[in-house]
Amino acid sequence: MIDSDDDGNVHLGYLTDAGLNGQFRLLHSTFANGTWQHRELLGNGRIAELDMEIDALGQANFLCLVVGSNLSSRFVHIMDDGADWRIDNATSVSNYILGSLDMALGPQGEVHAVFTTYHEDGLRMHNYLRGYNGSWTIEDVFAFSMAPELIRAGPQVAVDQDNHAHLAFPGLYVVTDFNHTWTEYTLEVRIRAPHGWQNHSISTGGECCEEISLQLDADGKERVLFVTGSLEPAMTLMRRVDPHWTTDVLGRGIQPQLLVDGDAERISFAGDSGQWQIGERSEGEWTWRTVGIPAMLTVLPGNQMAWTDAPSLLAYDWMANEAVVLEPGDHPIGPIDITVEVRDDEAVRMEWDSPDGDELPIIDHYVVYRAYPMSRYEVPSSFSGITDAEPDLYPFGTSYRLCAITASGEEYVLGYAHAEPDLIEGDPFDWGPALVIWGSIIVFATGVIGTIYLVVLSWVRKN
């Protein structure tokens, strides 16, 4: 997860070990004054679900679903104040549906969360959890039948300045008119007022919400960005302007996130052809930009964007097996030409052009990433090439990415290269062992199928 505090510092919350072996490792990383600071917490159990929010003091708050050794599940509130980890066991929970946890903080740091459970009678239930420092309550909010489309978009929660929780989630109603019956999909909005829940049901045009992102404006009114249509996903932004709702159709997109700051609305989403888009609305007008995501990086779903002076996107780097933060800005280094040469079908020689004289002083060193098998090499800035003696080239080759690292730790992609085995001039790839294995599997499967057929045929004849 990614978030930012009131001072413009970016926070990351993530697991380096979810606890499959009985102990989890939770990390909180903060980027302030050009430097990353990391804090780690070890705990017993396995974290199956995690969400993070930053409070008014800049402290990270985590709500975790922890599964114990006896498979019992409980929610745990964990706070990092920069010096100590504070842990508060919230409540136990059963029949939890993964992917349904969302969390928000009240003005005084009180936790508000929503999640979904299933029950033996076939119903699903959205639940509302609230509490802090040992005092927790839980309420049933919305029961619905076992309709799989209603859990594609998990429930969302936001909290206003009066500490009232606002929820948004998909709804479904069966409508009967004389001899006709049909299904009506809605966007359900619930507000936890002092004396109970206030309900709003807004039609979504006959299609179920596939994804939802909820925010509140300065007056505590809901702004909900949602996606409908699985084949041709379309984004719609709805704003509550009592007693009505306004609608802004934004076009095609998936994985949306909405951020509201005063009157400014900002969204990030994956548009057509997988290109990542960021939009900003100010004074009633939208401006759009396309974000260049380097190859082999994937923007993570959910809370993938934080906004300080500019947007920051949280992505996963498949070549480095780590989370990275992408920020817009000028590219002071590269790109440069990279060449690769396969030598003796066992090693790869990779060479690159030295950057221009104005670029060289800011390079502290290079990093070369190899896709398969995954590896990372640090190279001095005085070098212009390396020899990789341990690639796995067969049968499809492997890819490389060259990056420049500055003294302050910023990383710039300089280019990519792909090395393939020389199957024309060198020895051909030996497919024999693979064919023998698959041939044995096919023969065995044919024998099993034939035996079953004969047994069934014998049984039919006897009866």
3-state secondary structure 339-386: EEEEECCCEEEEEECCCCCCCHHHEEEEEEEECCCCEEEEEECCCCEE
Distance separating alpha carbons of residues 385 and 388, to the nearest angstrom? 10
Asked whether residue 150 is assigned to any structural domain, the reply reads yes
Q: How confident is the model at residue 424 (pLDDT cuts 50, 70, 90)?
A: very low
Q: Which of 297, 326, 355 finishes a domain?
A: 326
Q: How confident is the model at residue 82 (pLDDT cuts 50, 70, 90)?
A: confident
Q: Measured at the alpha carbon of residue 336, what is the angle toward residues 332 and 337, in degrees to the nearest 5? A: 175
Asked whether residue 142 is assigned to any structural domain, the reply reads yes
Query: 299 and 366: one domain?
Result: no
**Which residue shows structure tokens 């004969």?**
454
Lowest mean pLDDT among 19-23, 110-114, 148-152, 415-419: 19-23
Query: 170 and 224: one domain?
Result: yes
Query: 31 and 123: one domain?
Result: yes
Query: 347 and 322: one domain?
Result: no
Determine contact, residues 268/311, Cβ cutoff 8 Å.
yes
The highest-confidence range among 140-149, 171-180, 239-248, by mean pLDDT, is 239-248
Query: 276 and 136: one domain?
Result: yes
CA distances from 397 to 377, 391, 422 (A): 18, 8, 10
At residue 66, the pLDDT reads 92
Strand order in the sheet with 73-80: 46-54, 60-67, 73-80, 85-93
Asked whether residue 165 is assigned to any structural domain, the reply reads yes
- Per DSSP bridges, beta strands 102-105 and 85-93 are unpaired
Closest among 247, 238, 235 to 272, alpha carbons compared = 235
Q: Which amino acid appears at position 200 of this protein? A: H
The whole-number average pLDDT for the span 214-219 is 94
Q: Which of 302, 326, 350 finishes a domain?
A: 326
Domain CATH for 390: 2.60.40.10
What does the pLDDT look like over 270-295, one tens digit per residue? 987 778 999 999 888 899 988 878 87
Query: 216 and 266: one domain?
Result: yes
Query: 379 and 289: one domain?
Result: no
pLDDT at 149 over 90: no
At residue 426, the pLDDT reads 45
Q: Which amino acid appears at position 9 of this protein? A: N
Percent over 70 (pLDDT), the chain? 90
Asked whether residue 44 is assigned to any structural domain, the reply reads yes
Distance separating alpha carbons of residues 145 and 148, to the nearest angstrom? 9
Query: 256 and 347: one domain?
Result: no
Query: 273 and 131: one domain?
Result: yes
Determine contact, residues 24/56, Cβ cutoff 8 Å.
no
Counted residue by residue, the chain has a size of 463
At residue 377, the pLDDT reads 92
pLDDT at 461 over 70: no
What does the pLDDT look like over 225-248, one tens digit per residue? 999 988 889 999 999 998 899 999
What does the pLDDT look like over 401-415, one tens digit per residue? 999 888 877 888 888
What does the pLDDT look like over 306-345, one tens digit per residue? 888 788 899 888 888 888 888 876 666 767 889 999 887 7
Determine contact, residues 391/369, Cβ cutoff 8 Å.
no
Asked whether residue 344 is assigned to any structural domain, the reply reads yes
The whole-chain average pLDDT of the chain stands at: 86
The whole-number average pLDDT for the span 262-273 is 87
Distance separating alpha carbons of residues 149 and 66, to the nearest angstrom? 27
The better pLDDT of the pair 333, 139 is held by 139
The whole-number average pLDDT for the span 208-234 is 93
Domain CATH for 137: 2.130.10.10
Q: Which of 260, 292, 326 finishes a domain?
A: 326
> What is the domain count for the chain?
2
Strand order in the sheet with 222-228: 209-216, 222-228, 234-241, 244-252
CA distances from 272 to 105, 298, 303, 326, 457 (A): 34, 15, 20, 20, 54
Quote the domain boundaries for residue 382. Answer: 338-419
Asked whether residue 454 is assigned to any structural domain, the reply reads no
Asked whether residue 428 is assigned to any structural domain, the reply reads no
Asked whether residue 459 is assigned to any structural domain, the reply reads no
Query: 318 and 354: one domain?
Result: no
pLDDT at 425 over 50: no
Which residues make Cβ contacts (< 8 Å) with residue 330, sequence separation at least 6?
A: none
The better pLDDT of the pair 429, 16 is held by 16
Query: 400 and 262: one domain?
Result: no
Phi, psi (degrees; rounded to nearest 5) at 39: -130, 140
At residue 246, the pLDDT reads 93
Q: How confident is the model at residue 359 (pLDDT cuts 50, 70, 90)?
A: low
The whole-number average pLDDT for the span 250-259 is 93
What does the pLDDT look like over 105-128, one tens digit per residue? 999 999 999 999 988 777 899 999
Query: 248 and 142: one domain?
Result: yes
At residue 454, the pLDDT reads 65
Six-digit token pair at 201?
């049901």
